[in-house]
Amino acid sequence: MAEVSFKHVKKVYPNNEKKSRKKRGDAEKSTPANVTDEGVLVVRDFNLDIADREFIVLVGPSGCGKSTTLRMIAGLEDITDGEITIDGTVVNDVAPKDRDIAMVFQSYALYPHMTVYENMAFPLKLRKLPKDQIDAKVREAAETLGITEYLDRKPKALSGGQRQRVAIGRAIVREPKVLLMDEPLSNLDAKLRNQMRAEIIKLRQKIDTTFIYVTHDQTEAMTLGDRIVIMKDGIAQQIGTPHQVFDNPANIFVAGFIGVPQMNFFDADLVRTGDSYVVRLGGFEVAPSEEKQANLRAHGIKSQKITLGVRPEHITLAPGETSCLEGTVDVSEMMGSSVHLHMTSLGQDVIAVVNTMDATDPTFADRHNVGERVEYAFTGNAIHLFDKETGTNLEF
Ligand SMILES: Nc1ncnc2c1ncn2[C@@H]1O[C@H](COP(=O)(O)OP(=O)(O)OP(=O)(O)O)[C@@H](O)[C@H]1O
Ligand SMILES: [Mg+2]
């Protein structure tokens, strides 16, 4: 149990590449954007207050700085600037073993020559706990994770999911204040990953620990996190509940990263007349909801070209509506309870998720032929308006 807080945390790695390139006499290659005179800037001005027992997920594409952030909490990586506090104590200079934190890695990192029992008992032995206490704690954790029957096996005789359970077991036996997990499920196949995801949700209810979980998988982030931190290029793009980031993405990056299939983006015109707005694209006109209108007014947004975002789930097929858009079906993917309809419309790809469960819906159709022309529309509640240049949400 612990509160964890980041204040203006920054991480710069020394830029060794430049020197070795010079040594080799290589021609100056174009330097990546995060390479500055200071070094490689991988986390910038990171601010976050994590509540006691909260489940925080850091999510973002490869290289965005997730593991580095986690490793700074664990003390495996120096903090270049700023402060990390655990329960109000600055831990920048506290040794990893004194931080009362446990970490689970993608690669399990189990000791191959030890049994499951010995692996789990190891951190407690290091602490010189009496044997009977160690035994009680190992058995309790094994019970929690459903691995009691494997206690005498060596890791190599376990499946990936079982190994990861042991790794989690080894982390929780010592009841750490904070449990850090770095992509713990990404070595598992899809089915096992879903199963383990549910296990982690259950585990979370059983133990009194603050969770900080790293993944590049938006589904894991959405299902596990009380709050999600979406990162890109070392910068937190948005911090919020799964609902907040899904319904009100702060910018195009977040909008595109969260949600499957991905949000559709269109070039559109936002037109302001007096105090009211409409969005126009390809002869289709839609008025933003009252709430959106108020937000736009509050920010003094003027008529301008925008990037319009519409989630595939919010597109409805609208045969015969007076105002609608047209598309041609390229691919129709039957997903079970819905069809993912890939269309070409307005000279670009557009994806719609069509519900196949409600046959009483007049627009119901579970089959669309390739090349078929369809009409579609969406409402003013479901649109997202982004600045064409910066990509930021105009309502923010
Ligand atoms: N020791 C190092 N020296 C220099 N640069 C480093 C070092 N370690 C990591 N980096 C760089 O820091 C950036 C962030 O790395 P990090 O491992 O935190 O990313 P990540 O978000 O965890 O990515 P992934 O999803 O691939 O695990 C990357 O661009 C990486 O190349
Ligand atoms: Mg990583």
CB 104 within 8 A of CB 171: yes
Checking 13-17 for CB contacts under 8 A at 24+ apart, the result is: 13/39, 13/40, 13/42, 14/39, 14/40, 15/39, 15/40
pLDDT(322) > 90: no
Q: How far does residue 129's CA lie from ligand 2's centre (Å)?
A: 33
Q: What does the pLDDT look like over 39-58, one tens digit per residue?
A: 899 999 999 999 999 999 99
Query: CB of 62 closer than 6 A to ligand 1?
Result: yes
CA of 59, nearest ligand number: 1
In this structure, the number of other CB atoms found within 10 A of the CB of residue 161 comes to: 18
Q: How confident is the model at residue 24 (pLDDT cuts 50, 70, 90)?
A: low
Q: Is the pLDDT of residue 177 over 90?
A: yes
Under 8 Å between Cβ of 121 and 133: no
Query: Which of 20-34, 142-156, 202-216, 271-285 is the least confident region?
Result: 20-34
Closest residue CA from atom 26 of ligand 1: 62
User: Do 314 and 382 contact (CB within 8 A), yes or no?
Assistant: yes
Please give the Cα distance from 40 to 368 (Å, whole number). 50
| 205-224 pLDDT tens trace | 988 899 999 999 999 999 99
Band (335; pLDDT cuts 50, 70, 90): confident
Q: Which ligand is nearest to the CA of 69?
A: 1
The label of the residue with tokens 């919020």 reads: 240
Q: Which tens digit of pLDDT belongs to each residue from 221-246?
A: 999 999 999 999 999 999 999 999 99
- DSSP letters spanning 30-69: PPPTTB-SS-EEEEEEEEEEEPTT-EEEEE-STTSSHHHH
Confidence of residue 355 (pLDDT cuts 50, 70, 90): confident
Average pLDDT over every residue of 175-202: 90
The pLDDT score that the predictor gives to residue 266 is 98
The strand pair at 101-104 and 276-281 is best described as: unpaired
Confidence of residue 323 (pLDDT cuts 50, 70, 90): confident
Q: Which atom of ligand 1 lies nearest, measured to the CA of 67?
A: 22
pLDDT band of 34, cuts 50, 70, 90: confident
pLDDT digits (tens, 9 = 90+) for 57-110: 999 999 999 999 999 999 999 999 999 999 999 999 999 989 999 999 988 889
Q: Do you know the residue count of the chain?
A: 396
Confirm or reject: Cβ of 316 under 6 Å from ligand 1: no
Report the 10 Å Cβ neighbour count for 366: 13
CA of 67 to the centre of ligand 1 (A): 7
Interval 124-147: pLDDT, tens: 999 999 999 999 999 999 988 889
Atom of ligand 1 nearest to the CA of 15: 4
Minimum-distance ligand 1 atom for the alpha carbon of 32: 29
**Strand pairing report for 227-232 and 178-182:** unpaired
- Confidence band, pLDDT 50/70/90 cuts, at residue 384: very high
**Is the shortest distance between the CB of 33 and ligand 1 below 6 Å?**
no
**368 versus 81: which is more confidently predicted?**
81
pLDDT of amino acid 30: 65
Among all ligands shown, which has an atom nearest to the Cα of 66? Answer: 1
pLDDT of residue 360: 59
DSSP states of 161-212: HHHHHHHHHHHHTT--SEEEEESTTTTS-HHHHHHHHHHHHHHHHHS--EEE
How far are the Cα atoms of 40, 72, 90 from residue 93, in angstroms, in the given order?
A: 22, 11, 8
Q: What separation in Å is there between the alpha carbon of 64 and the centre of ligand 1?
A: 7
CA dihedral 68, 72, 75, 79 (to 10 degrees): 120
* Domains of the chain as residue ranges with CATH: 4-100+176-255 (3.40.50.300), 261-387 (2.40.50.140)
